[in-house]
Structure 1
Amino acid sequence: MSTDLPEYYFRVRENGALVYRVDTENRQRRIDMDQIAVVNIRNGEIKPHGDRILSDKDLDVIREWMTERQELLAYRDIDDILRAVDHMNLTAQWAQSRATEEQLEEVTDALLLAMHDLRSVLVRKKADRLMKDSKIKAG
């Protein structure tokens, strides 16, 4: 383990994180983590923990973490979707070459409904984008 610990620690949770200040400068040479804030990245809210007043440095570090976290989550979303495309291709290959009739019977309806739902959403969103683009060009 590195001897140089970060000054802040973010315990990730569903909508953001709990923010701790890390302290190793004590007599026992222990690692103390003092919660200073709760962060919600969905609405951008930063709530100081208890009666604590956050310094400008605290707020700067937290905002920087929030920006980096939002970028990471956006990247992961796209990566997950691209993996889903790969899985769809693998599923098509499996259905064509290896699936038994019983296996196909088990999954066909669920796959068809999910693909129909996805196709409907994608077509509607594509149409919305095309309409928006044509209004911009015409306007």
Structure 2
Amino acid sequence: MRQRHRLRRVSIVAGAGIALLVAAQPAAAAPTDTVFPIPVVGVGWMNPPGLPTGGSMYVTASTDPATPGVTRFSNDRYCCVFIHWRNISTGAAGIAYLGYPSVEAQTGPGTVFAAVTVPTGPPGYPALMLLPGAGAWTVP
């Protein structure tokens, strides 16, 4: 008789576990932000008085499963840079011009790598890149 009660208890627990698994809602993926680990570093000259000004900037790549294949690049300051990206999974590539505050690029789904460079600057305001920024992320 004890064997029957044990089997009944195990069946009830297993049935409850299966019911919970079936009734559970699938988890929705949240948007992700990836800050490039290597900042872009550049120097520019103000004219006049011709003094150098320098700075570094981290770029953030944001993806959202609600908009697959799209990456939004953003920065935290008013500085314009070029983002040269390549989707390693598909071979697609492009260049995004990031002003302030953000720009979107159709990178496609997969693993994407990017290098960030500083433009040469307008006449009278030359710029020099000391370190290109870089990062990699996955696009849903």
Give the TM-score of the pair, scaled to structure 1: 0.20
More helix as a share of residues: 1
Which structure's relative contact order is higher, taking Cα pairs within 8 Å and 6+ residues apart? 2
Give the TM-score of the pair, scaled to structure 2: 0.20
